[in-house]
Structure 1
Amino acid sequence: VAISLARLAPERVASLMVADIAPVAYEHGHDDVFAALDNVRQGQPKNRREADNLLGEHVDSRPTRLFLATNLIRNEDNVMALRVGLDHIKQGYSDIIGVPDGEQPYEGPTLVLRGGDSHYVADDMLPALRDVLPRARVVTLKNAGHWLHADQPEAFQQAVMAFIDAQ
C-alpha cells in the first residue's frame, strides 16, 4: 500500500520505509497464519497463554506468534478475539500479494529493510526494487526472517531511527 501511494501520489510522500517486501508479485504463502488466526477465533481463548497454544498449532515461530497476538483484544464475552478483519484480509489477499500500483518509480528517499533469513526481498528481486525505488537504501537485518520487527526489534528500531534522523 505504501509503495503504491508513493508511486501514485509522490507529492504526498516525503520519504518511504518498507519492511521486508519488494515491489513484485508474490505467491500465496500465509495459509499457516490464516489457519492460526482462525484457530484463535474459533477457540475463543480466555487468556494469552491459551491463545498462544492455539496459534502454535499452526505457527512454530514464537516471535511470529507474539506478533500475531498483538491483534488480540478481550471482547465483551471476556475472551480473546481478533481486532482485525481477518475475512476482509483473506478476501483482499490477491491484491495484497500483487505488484504495487503505479507506473512511475518513486524518486524520494527510501529505506528498505529486509531479513537476512527471509525470501521476501531476495537478491534476485533487487533489480525490480531499483526500478520502482531507485533511491532505496537496502539494509539487511541478520538473524531476521520476514517478521523482522519481531525477530530483531532493536536492530529494526535502530535502522528506522537512523533513517528518520537522516531526513
Structure 2
Amino acid sequence: MLLNHKIYGQGVPVIVIHGLFGSATNLGMLIKQLKTDYQVIAVDVRNHGLSMRHDSMHYDDMANDIIQLMDHLTIEQAHIVGHSMGGKIAMRTALNFPTRVSSLAVADIAPVNYPPRHDNVFAGLKNIPLADITTRSDAQAKLAEHVEEAGVQQFLLKGLYKNTQGQYGFYYALDTIIAQYDAISDWPETNKQYDKPVLFIKGMNSDYITSAHKSAIAQYFPHAKAKLVQGTGHWLHAEKPVIFNKIIVDFLFSH
C-alpha cells in the first residue's frame, strides 16, 4: 500500500517527512512557504495518520515506502526534508537510493542508535482510557499524569480523534510503535555513503545531535554541513518557524 500523502504547489519535488507520533500536517508552516516555488509532498509514514499499519518500522522498510510513493507519482528525483524519526527515514532513503535524492535536510536527529527516551510518553498514552473518556480534557488529564510538558501534551493529543460513534482513538498505531521502539531508536550500520548536499539543523538546546555524533554524520554524509537554531530544542521547526523555514529555503535554493 502507498503512504497517505498530500501534494501542494508545483515545481521541483520536495518530500517532507514528519517525526514519531506526527502526521503530514506537522511541518505545515514549512509546507506553506515551500509550495509557492516547489511541489511539496507531505507524507504520513507507516503506522501514522491515514497510512497503512505494518508490524515493521525498520528504516530500510520505511525508506522503501518513500521510493514506492515516488515511483507511483513518477518522481525520478526529489529533495527530502525530515524531522526526528522522519530525518532518519530521509537519511536511509538517501543512502539506499542516492540517485533518487537530490539533496537532504535533516532536522535534529543523527544517524545513531539512541537510548530509550519515550517511556513517559508511552505510559501517558497508555494511561488514556479511550473507551471511557468523553472529552479531550479527560485525555489530557490522564496524559499529564506521566507527561508534564504542556507543549508535548498538545502535540501528542493532535493524534487523538473521535469517530462518528463518539469513540476516541489515535491516528497512530500506539501498540505497534511501542513494540517496534527498538527499531525506531536504532540506526542499522551500513557501508553506504551519500555524497550529495546534506544539511543538519540542530536545536541549540537539544541533545539529539551532539559533538559525539560528528564522526557518524561524516561517515555517511561526507559533504554535510550544519546550522544551529538558537533558543530551540528538539521541536525547532515549531519554536522558531521563521528561522527554520529560511534555513530550509536557502538550502534548497542553493542546490
Interval of TM-score (by shorter of Structure 1 and Structure 2): 0.7 to 0.9
State yes or no: 1:117 paired with 2:205.
yes
Cα gap change, 1:141 to 1:132, in 2 (>3 Å)? same
* Larger RCO (CA within 8 A; separation ≥ 6): 1
For residues 166 and 66 of structure 1, the distance between their equivalents in structure 2, rounded to whole angstroms, comes to 35
Tell which deviates more after alignment, 152-161 or 86-95.
152-161
Tell which deviates more after alignment, 3-12 or 44-53.
44-53
Verify the 8 A CA contact 2:127 2:142 in the aligned structure 1: yes
Name whichever structure is richer in strand by fraction: 2
Give the deviation of 1:53 after TM superposition. 2.7
In structure 2, the partner of 1:50 is: 138
For residues 242 and 206 of structure 2, the distance between their equivalents in structure 1, rounded to whole angstroms, comes to 18
Which string of whole-angstrom CA distances, capped at 9 and with x for unpartnered residues, describes residues 135-159 of structure 1?
A: 2221122222223233333333232
For residues 43 and 103 of structure 1, the distance between their equivalents in structure 2, rounded to whole angstroms, comes to 47
Tell which deviates more after alignment, 70-79 or 21-30.
70-79
Provide TM-score, normalisation by structure 1.
0.86
Give the deviation of 1:120 after TM superposition. 0.9
In structure 1, the partner of 2:240 is: 152
Give the aligned residue type for 1:115: G
Stretches of structure 2 that go unaligned for 5 or more consecutive residues are 1-88
| Aligned partner (choices 90, 96, 101) of residue 13 of structure 1 | 101
Provide TM-score, normalisation by structure 2.
0.59
Name whichever structure is richer in helix by fraction: 1
For residues 230 and 217 of structure 2, the distance between their equivalents in structure 1, rounded to whole angstroms, comes to 20
Cα gap change, 1:154 to 1:66, in 2 (>3 Å)? farther
4+ aligned runs moved over 6 Å, structure 1: none
Stretches of structure 1 that go unaligned for 5 or more consecutive residues are none
For residues 144 and 237 of structure 2, the distance between their equivalents in structure 1, rounded to whole angstroms, comes to 19
Tell which deviates more after alignment, 23-32 or 33-42.
33-42
SS of equivalent to 1:27: coil
In structure 1, the partner of 2:254 is: 166
Give the deviation of 1:84 after TM superposition. 0.6
For residues 242 and 142 of structure 2, the distance between their equivalents in structure 1, rounded to whole angstroms, comes to 28
Give the aligned residue type for 2:153: R
In structure 2, the partner of 1:139 is: 227
Verify the 8 A CA contact 2:94 2:104 in the aligned structure 1: yes
Verify the 8 A CA contact 1:4 1:102 in the aligned structure 2: no
In structure 2, the partner of 1:29 is: 117
Which string of whole-angstrom CA distances, capped at 9 and with x for unpartnered residues, describes residues 58-92 of structure 1?
A: 22222222222221222233244211111111121
Which string of whole-angstrom CA distances, capped at 9 and with x for unpartnered residues, describes residues 31-61 of structure 1?
A: 0111122223547543433333333222222
Give the aligned residue type for 1:10: P
In the comparison of the two structures, how many residue pairs are matched? Answer: 167
Give the aligned residue type for 2:106: V
Q: Percent identity?
A: 34
State yes or no: 1:97 paired with 2:219.
no
For residues 136 and 44 of structure 1, the distance between their equivalents in structure 2, rounded to whole angstroms, comes to 49
| Aligned partner (choices 171, 192, 216) of residue 128 of structure 1 | 216
Tell which deviates more after alignment, 40-49 or 131-140.
40-49
SS of equivalent to 1:118: coil
